[in-house]
Chains A and B, each alone.
Chain A
């Protein structure tokens, strides 16, 4: 059904002459009009970016999916939704639940770091503060689980306001390091406060959304689906904030270019704080969910190690994208929870992946493709700089811009022929040319002479008889009607045979120089 036609979006160097081009499938049937009528609710966005064109040969309507990421998202999320409940045992299922919760946290964190550009490391501190608060309320007032989840965004927002105050004045690393300290402060506070379960190492006993009489497997399944819904909600929030007005405003004000945004009249500080507060409220909500899932909260949320693992997740995937957050979380949780039999080695492996990522990759796993393309372009331009001479092969990049493909082949053939003929040129051959004027010649000499005779007229050498039988000179034809030939040098030959040999020597020199 789908015809593959070549598109010249990326001409890469490959074995073929004019370069390997990326093949984009062109789908047949009706054009993109059907898709353009559909919209995501409350937005003007179409579900898929589709370009329509008519095939120049068959005149059939064809469409090309320009941005396939929505398809990848749907496929990936379907796999994540189906694989754990169907193929996983109980421990795998609980690992998948933890994955979904951490993925939700990381997606919201990405809003802070990527969209708002506030490098806050107190993410888990917000989650933990909300989890502790709602657990405490639930234990002491009997607040049901839905009440916990309803209260938790308020707690997150309150905490967000508190840690956003320093962000107004501080920038970059000062703020990041301060938030590390804030997380440590929370840990210390929780560990030393009796009411928050200092002695029992954690505060447990809160209400949970898993009903009482349900089987173990059923409870795990319910937890997993609930956590998955939380992750989807986080993705929707990411989309709504990053993909709409706020995200657009903040994209004009990346770090170091705030002055430009301010000159455009964009209040980027207000937008940043707004995104930060929205994210804090969302983190609080996730904290509330966390508390209802674990029936409480533990001080482990505030430790440096949890922060490290969380950072490893977003660093491996690549800071600034939601897909990076999800895939990074998947990798880290896989090592941390599923390969639990490895012991401390699994954290060592995570650390090594993290280190390798920052050492070699600029923007994590999802930055590999652009980074590779940039590297390839650099290498290509270096090679092109080395290899561009007169009469050389046409480089693949230039080849795409020459309409007459025959010219490219001619030039290539010519180059190969010259390379071959160069090998035939010897002192004996030149002596033979002088000796055998008008007589029988060897095959090698004939081949070279045939090549010379075939040369185009412009620039071809000829003999000018200044004084017949006494003075001959070499000229080069202009190749244009009405334009006289030009003298090549001031050499004067006594006989025509000598002049012919002189022309031969010049041509041999040109051949060897090319």
Chain B
């Protein structure tokens, strides 16, 4: 069987960058807040609506729509943090309770969206110009290129921010030891809200970039959430490097499966890979790289 290398590379990079955006968000939230954010999919959906409202009422300019999605995502993240983390983080049984709280927020939010906007899907205006160019034997549309570039730039920007800024230092302190961070004066609540806003912004970006694949609808977040979770899981919850490696690996698996076996088998092969990874390394790929939150 002939496998087109260029096509494979382009597909892998596209999928990896998108998965990376979602998985990194889930992973950071888990490691710094100790919370599985099941409402990440809701942030994804609501950001789509935010971008759609911006496109309807303000401007259809790509940058403005993108900004609208990111801002809505940040707002949604802050609200989720305020509802699920702030009142619960010092209560007994926090991990399970926050998981359920975020699930409740997801249910509440998606039903509210359904109530407010109806079940019909909405389409966002094109963000990048139509057309494309040839990369080797594969054709790359500007839309795809824009998605890749945007997500890589934002991921790198976020990594640099985590490494260099004061807030990033606080977040890393909270990842290593929340109690110790609190003792040396890191405000857990404000840091948590900052984390939720940043990851919410990433999810909002992903929502707008993916609006060609997952149209804006109340339940659009479910599939990206599941993909983000399994990628974060394979990478090892709490590890950025692990999440990125897993995103690349699973993107490659998906591209290979789609080319070799057909799109129907994508989830099955992905799952087989993940289960094999987890059976060998119960704490994901990062189990080999670094210590993660227990």
Contacts and interface: CB of A to CB of B under 8 A. Distances in A.
Interface of A: 119, 165-166, 169-174, 176-178, 180-182, 184-185, 188-189, 192, 303-305, 308, 311-312, 315, 319, 343-345, 347-348, 350-352, 354-355, 358-359, 362
Interface stretch (B187-195, B199-207, B271-279): B271-279
A381 to B, nearest CB: 19
A315 B102 CA distance: 13
A359 B88 contact: yes
Contact of B282 (A119, A174, A304, A358): A174
B101 interface: yes
A177 B275 CA distance: 12
Interface of B: 30, 36, 83, 87-88, 91-93, 95-101, 103-108, 111-112, 114-115, 219, 222-223, 225-226, 229-230, 233, 237, 264, 267-268, 271, 274-275, 278-279, 282-284
A158 to B, nearest CB: 17
A174 B233 contact: yes
Contacts of B233: 174, 177-178, 181
B114 A308 contact: no
B275 A166 contact: yes
Contacts of B219: 305
A178 B226 contact: no
A347 B107 CA distance: 7
Contacts of B83: 355
B7 to A, nearest CB: 23
Given A170-B282, A345-B115, A350 B267 contact: no
Contacts of B87: 359
Query: How would you classify the secondary structure of chain B's contact residues: helix, strand, loop or mixed?
Result: helix
A169 B229 contact: no
A306 to B, nearest CB: 11
Contacts of B284: 174
B107 A184 contact: no
Given A173-B95, A358-B97, A185 B282 contact: no
**Interface core residue of B30, B101, B219 (most chain A CB under 10 Å):** B101
Contact of B107 (A166, A170, A173, A312): A312
B101 A192 contact: no
Contacts of A343: 115
Contacts of A176: 36, 99
B229 A348 contact: no
A413 to B, nearest CB: 44
B93 A182 contact: no
Given A308-B107, A311-B100, A359-B87, A182 B282 contact: no
20 contacts: A166-B275, A169-B278, A176-B36, A180-B229, A181-B233, A181-B274, A184-B223, A305-B219, A308-B106, A312-B104, A319-B96, A347-B107, A351-B104, A351-B108, A351-B111, A352-B104, A354-B103, A358-B104, A359-B101, A362-B92
A350 to B, nearest CB: 7
Given A173-B237, A188-B267, A348-B111, A178 B105 contact: no
A344 B105 CA distance: 15
